[in-house]
C-alpha cells in the first residue's frame, strides 16, 4: 500500500461534527469514539514504510478488544507488557503463539500466568530485563524462547517519564548484556534482544533515537546467533494542530541504516502511532464561569477519563463541535473533580463555549481510556467504535452499581 493512501496525520477538525453530535446525543457523555478504519490505515502506512521489519502492536497503548482485534486481523502480532494484557489479547482472539510478553518487574502471579500459557504454547516469547527475573523464570520450569531487554543508556521521547532507555528500571545494564546472554544460553532458548528507548518520538528526537538504536544494533552483533532484535516502538504523533507529523520514511530509513549489519530479523512495536489519532473524547459543557483571569468552562469529563494532561502536562487539542465558527475566547476547560490538576487546558483560545455545547478532545486513542480511573467514584466512560457507516458500543458506561460491585462481592460482605 502506498504511504499516501491515507494522510499521515488526522487533525481534530477532520472528524465529522454532525456525527459526533449524534453519537453524543445517542450514547451520552463523556464518550470515547474510536475509528477502526483509521487504526487500520495507520497500520498499513507503518507496515509499508517498515516493510523490512516484523511489526507488532504494543497493546499498552490501547487494549480495547476491538482495537487489538482490528490490528491483529490487519497483520500485527501483539506485544504485551503485563499478564493482564496477555489475557485481554487472548480474549480478543489473538493466538498465544502470536504474542510476546515483555514485563518489567513482573509480579509472581503474572509470571505464573505467563508460564502456564507457555506450557500450552511453547512458541510464546518471554522478555526479561533483570538477572533475577531469569532465576524466577527458571525456578518455574521455563526453558523456552527468551529475549533480553537492554538498557542502552540513552532515552528519547516527549517527557522524561517516558524516556525509558536511560531509566535503570528498564532492562539489563548495557555492559552486562553479553555476559548475561552467554549464561542465559545455558538455561534458555535465547532468541532475541529487546530495547525500548522512549515514547512520542518526532523529528527532533530522531538523532537521539538513532544513537540509542545504534548501540543496540552493535550489541546484537557482538551477542550473535539471534533470531530477532526488537527495537521497541516510540514513534510519535503531533498533538498540536500546527505540529508536523513524523517523517515516517525518514524514520524507516534511519532504522534500516542502523540495522544494516544485524544478522537477525528487525522487530518493531508501534503503539501510539497506530491508535492515537483514531480516538476522540466527547464532553458536554455544564458550567461557564467568567472570571477576571479567564473563562472557566466546566465539562462532564475529567482526569478520570483522560489523565495525560495532569500526568504529563500533555497538550490535547480541544474543539468546540457545537460552535466552531464563534469568536475564540481564552478558556480554561476542566472537569468535576476536586483538584486543580483536573484541567484539559488553561487560557486557550476556543470558540466561545456555552452551556450545552459539545467539546471534543483530540488524539486520545493512545493512553486515554486505558488510564481511566474511578477517582472521586466517577464511573468510567462508554466507548463507541465506528467502522465505515457501522457504529457499535464496545465498552458500556459504568454505573454507580459498578463502583461498589467488587466490594459487594467480597467474601463476608452481607
Q: How far apart are CA 405 and CA 376, in angstroms?
A: 16
Asked whether 43 and 74 are in contact (CB, 8 A), the reply is yes
242 near 317, Cβ under 8 Å? no
User: Are the beta carbons of 3 and 41 closer than 8 angstroms?
Assistant: no
Angle between the N-to-C axes of helices 83-91 and 108-120, in degrees from 0 to 180, rounded to the nearest 10? 40
- Alpha-carbon Rg for the chain, nearest whole angstrom, is 22
Residue 257's CB is within 10 A of a number of other CB atoms, namely: 12
Cell of 351: 470558540
CA 298 – CA 292 distance, rounded (Å): 16
CA 71 to CA 94: how far, in whole Å? Answer: 10
Exactly one of 132, 260, 292, 338 is catalytic; name it: 338
Are 123 and 97 in contact by the 8 Å Cβ rule? The answer is: yes
- φ, ψ for residue 2 (rounded to 5)? -65, 145
- Using CB atoms within 10 Å of the CB of residue 341, give its burial: 0 to 12 exposed, 13 to 18 middle, 19+ buried: middle
Distance CA 148, CA 230 (A): 10
Q: Is 391 left (phi over 0), alpha (psi -120 to 50) or beta?
A: beta
**Residue 164: CA count within 13 A, CB half-sphere:** 22
Q: Would residue 338 show up in a list of annotated catalytic residues for this protein?
A: yes
Supply the residues annotated as catalytic.
Answer: 338
Amino acid at each position: 500500500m502506498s504511504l499516501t493512501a491515507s494522510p499521515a496525520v488526522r487533525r481534530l477538525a477532520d472528524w465529522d461534527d454532525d456525527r459526533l453530535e449524534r453519537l453524543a446525543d445517542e450514547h451520552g457523555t463523556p464518550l470515547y469514539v474510536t475509528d477502526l478504519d483509521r487504526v487500520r490505515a495507520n497500520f498499513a502506512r507503518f507496515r509499508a514504510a517498515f516493510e523490512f521489519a516484523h511489526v507488532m502492536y504494543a497493546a499498552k497503548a490501547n487494549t480495547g478488544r476491538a482495537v487489538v482485534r482490528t490490528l491483529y486481523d490487519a497483520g500485527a502480532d501483539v506485544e504485551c507488557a503485563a499478564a493482564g494484557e496477555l489475557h485481554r489479547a487472548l480474549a480478543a482472539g489473538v493466538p498465544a503463539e502470536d504474542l510476546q510478553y515483555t514485563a518489567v518487574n513482573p509480579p509472581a502471579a503474572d509470571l505464573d500466568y505467563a508460564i502456564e500459557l507457555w506450557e500450552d504454547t511453547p512458541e510464546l516469547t518471554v522478555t526479561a530485563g533483570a538477572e533475577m527475573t531469569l532465576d524466577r523464570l527458571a525456578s518455574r520450569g521455563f526453558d523456552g524462547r527468551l529475549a533480553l531487554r537492554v538498557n542502552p543508556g540513552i532515552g528519547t521521547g516527549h517527557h522524561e517519564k517516558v524516556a525509558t532507555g536511560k531509566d535503570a528500571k528498564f532492562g539489563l545494564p548495557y555492559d552486562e548484556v553479553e555476559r548475561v546472554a552467554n549464561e542465559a544460553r545455558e538455561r534458555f532458548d535465547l532468541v532475541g534482544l529487546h530495547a525500548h528507548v522512549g515514547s512520542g518520538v518526532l523529528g527532533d528526537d530522531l538523532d537521539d533515537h538513532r544513537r540509542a538504536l545504534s548501540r543496540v544494533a552493535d550489541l546484537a552483533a557482538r551477542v550473535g546467533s539471534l533470531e530477532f532484535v526488537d527495537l521497541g516502538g516510540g514513534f510519535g504523533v503531533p498533538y498540536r494542530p500546527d505540529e508536523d507529523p513524523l517523517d515516517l520514511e525518514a524514520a524507516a530509513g534511519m532504522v534500516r541504516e542502523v540495522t544494516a549489519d544485524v544478522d537477525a530479523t528487525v522487530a518493531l512495536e508501534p503503539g501510539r502511532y497506530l491508535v492515537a489519532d483514531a480516538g476522540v473524547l466527547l464532553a458536554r459543557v455544564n458550567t461557564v464561569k467568567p472570571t477576571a483571569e479567564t473563562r472557566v468552562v466546566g465539562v462532564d469529563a475529567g482526569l478520570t477519563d483522560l489523565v495525560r494532561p495532569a500526568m504529563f502536562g500533555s497538550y490535547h487539542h480541544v474543539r468546540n463541535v457545537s460552535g466552531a465558527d464563534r469568536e475564540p475566547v481564552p478558556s480554561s476547560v476542566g472537569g468535576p473533580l476536586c483538584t486543580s490538576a483536573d484541567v484539559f487546558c488553561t487560557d486557550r483560545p476556543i470558540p466561545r463555549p456555552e452551556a450545552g455545547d459539545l467539546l471534543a478532545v483530540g488524539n486520545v486513542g493512545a493512553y486515554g481510556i486505558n488510564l481511566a480511573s474511578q477517582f472521586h467514584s466517577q464511573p468510567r466512560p462508554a466507548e463507541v467504535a465506528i467502522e465505515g457507516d457501522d457504529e457499535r458500543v464496545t465498552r458500556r458506561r459504568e454505573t454507580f452499581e459498578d463502583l461498589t460491585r467488587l466490594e459487594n462481592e467480597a467474601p463476608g460482605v452481607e
